[in-house]
Amino acid sequence: MTSPFKNRIGDAWIGDGDVTENINPSDLSDVVGLYARADAAQAADAIAAARAAFPSWSATTGQMRGDILERAAAEILARREELGELLAREEGKTLPEAMGEVARAGQIFRFFAAEAVRAAGEVVPSVRPGVSVEVTREPLGVIGLITPWNFPIAIPAWKIAPALAYGNCVVFKPAELVPGCAWALTEILVRAGLPAGVLNLVMGRGSVVGAAMLESPEVDAISFTGSVGTGRQVAERCVATMKKVQLEMGGKNPLIVLDDADLPAAVEAAVNGAFFSTGQRCTASSRLIVTEGIHDRFVAAVTARLERLTVGHALRKGTDIGPVVSQDQLEQDRRYIAIGQDEGARLAWGGGLVECDTKGFFLQPALFTETTNAMRINREEIFGPVASVVRVRDYEEALAAANDTAFGLAAGICTTSLKHASHFKRNAQAGMVMVNLPTAGVDYHVPFGGRKASSYGPREQGAYAANSTPPSRPPTSTPEPFPRQRRARPAPAPRDAWGRRTISPTLLP
């Protein structure tokens, strides 16, 4: 039996016992690898190693930390194809999608390599005489990172890179389904020069490893991405143990299509947003809210586009949509397709299993029409290649339907009306708003996050990620070294011909 890929704890690769079989969802006979499964004691060791590494790592210069991140970025970008193949094999994204995600991870490390030397503070005058105030950012300590399976390298990258750049130590727990990219990323960072204990990898179950991280008093903060249900438990445990917490969770993202939309552009935005990456994106356009003047043409064009898409093996040339990630997720998708039919929605296209020459979790994208926003398929996150069309009268009704949801991650509108686009940007209750674009697809240098049940705590990515490791000590105030000079009294304004004081022109706006 091949030896498993091991956990990284302190300066050692550990774990010969329990393993996870990492199976390719495009081909269930393909075992990507065996990955060690950590237990609670190993999670505790990883936390202790991070705690021990913190004093010296937090005292390093931004230059040193940035150099390590830059070396990792360069390697990730150089190995884009190979890492993309690993990602496509374990998660099921198509190879081009997977390589795009790997490139994004490299760009994120490069961005935070530069941010590491940019860390800045402020010196401001006090409200007290003779005192000045310094506001500085300090590393927080040990950060626990818990990630989902759908972006196996980009989400770990956008959590690990800022945590390390700002001088924190990390305990990283990836999702059980995708240990391969997590292991590869950790190995790259270790070889890039991270000292022992600064980054620890503990692959394993959420209920064991994740729970150990939540309970430990030695973990100062948790950054979590995953479902709302798990996120709620994470928040409760973090509050109980007084940890800082950041949660990114699910979505039920609306894409509005108005009568005046450019039809081909709207169809592309809808098909890409709803079905690419097999619909397994938190920002997926799962609710297509369409005004009645364009409704029938839009449905016909989307259906025609879906007919031309190829569902198949993620690594095969010509595949547009890879498999669903797992048996459980496939069952969830099919359960919701049945729920939609029971609720009276019309299954206008797809929803059936697809036969390929390999055994995998292949599902035709499913498009529902004649749905209402009250149906469960429009209220609950399905997280698969399933989208529904909601027919509305006009923009006002579309906006109301878009906002009538517990979630608030991303929202989009397809229109040629500046008035409606501008109004939507201000009034969509979502963290990210797109115009004539899919709801999915974001930049890495700007804040990422949602509203309502989709997010909790500070934003991720870009310079905003610094707020997820807030200053760990209050501003410091210092008496000024020299007593303040007495200001010279300004000369009195000259008098006019009537003996009145004139107003100095420099005081006027």
Which amino acids are annotated catalytic?
248, 282
**Which residue matches tokens 């200053």?**
471
Residues 6+ apart with CB under 8 A from 167: 57, 58, 60, 65, 138, 139
Is 309 a binding residue for ligand NAD by CB under 6 A? The answer is no
Q: Which stretch binds ligand NAD (CB under 6 A): 72-80, 115-123, 149-157, 484-492?
A: 149-157
Q: Which stretch binds ligand NAD (CB under 6 A): 100-108, 144-152, 182-190, 366-374?
A: 144-152
Is 147 a binding residue for ligand NAD by CB under 6 A? The answer is yes
Helix, strand, or coil here: 28? strand
Q: Which stretch binds ligand NAD (CB under 6 A): 61-69, 107-115, 207-215, 463-471?
A: 207-215
Single out the residue of 249, 290, 314, 366 in contact with ligand NAD (rule: CB under 6 A).
249
Helix ranges (DSSP H) in 192-262: 211-215, 228-240
DSSP code for 59: T
Is 326 a binding residue for ligand NAD by CB under 6 A? The answer is no
In whole angstroms, the minimum distance from the beta carbon of 149 to ligand NAD comes to 5
Is 383 a binding residue for ligand NAD by CB under 6 A? The answer is yes
Residues 6+ apart with CB under 8 A from 288: 254, 255, 257, 270, 274, 298, 302, 387, 388, 389, 390
Distance separating alpha carbons of residues 320 and 423, to the nearest angstrom = 34
Is 221 a binding residue for ligand NAD by CB under 6 A? The answer is no
In whole angstroms, the minimum distance from the beta carbon of 21 to ligand NAD comes to 16
Q: Tell which residue, 357, 360, 382, has the closest CA to residue 371.
A: 382
Residues 428-467 that bind ligand NAD (CB under 6 A): 454
Q: Tell which residue, 86, 147, 52, has the closest CA to residue 314.
A: 86
Distance separating alpha carbons of residues 168 and 166, to the nearest angstrom = 6
Binding string, residues 251-290; x marks residues near ligand NAD by CB under 6 A: x------------------------------x--------
Distance separating alpha carbons of residues 38 and 17, to the nearest angstrom = 9
Q: Is the dihedral of CA 246, 248, 249, 255 positive or negative?
A: positive
Q: Which stretch binds ligand NAD (CB under 6 A): 116-124, 208-216, 262-270, 305-313?
A: 208-216
The distance from CA 12 to its chain's CA centroid, rounded to whole angstroms, is: 29
Is 7 a binding residue for ligand NAD by CB under 6 A? The answer is no
Helix ranges (DSSP H) in 311-438: 327-342, 376-379, 395-403, 418-427
Q: How far is CA 254 from CA 93, 131, 257, 432, in A?
A: 23, 52, 10, 11
Is 250 a binding residue for ligand NAD by CB under 6 A? The answer is yes
Distance separating alpha carbons of residues 320 and 377, to the nearest angstrom = 24
Single out the residue of 4, 162, 226, 279 in contact with ligand NAD (rule: CB under 6 A).
226
In whole angstroms, the minimum distance from the beta carbon of 70 to ligand NAD comes to 25
Is 92 a binding residue for ligand NAD by CB under 6 A? The answer is no
Is 179 a binding residue for ligand NAD by CB under 6 A? The answer is no
* Residue 148 or 351 with smaller CB distance to ligand NAD: 148
Is 215 a binding residue for ligand NAD by CB under 6 A? The answer is no
Residues 393-412 that bind ligand NAD (CB under 6 A): 409
Q: Which amino acid is at 230?
A: T
Q: Which stretch binds ligand NAD (CB under 6 A): 31-39, 222-230, 306-314, 397-405?
A: 222-230
Contacts with ligand NAD, residue ranges (CB under 6 A): 146-151, 173, 175-176, 206-207, 210-211, 214, 225-227, 230, 233-234, 248-251, 282, 381, 383, 409, 454
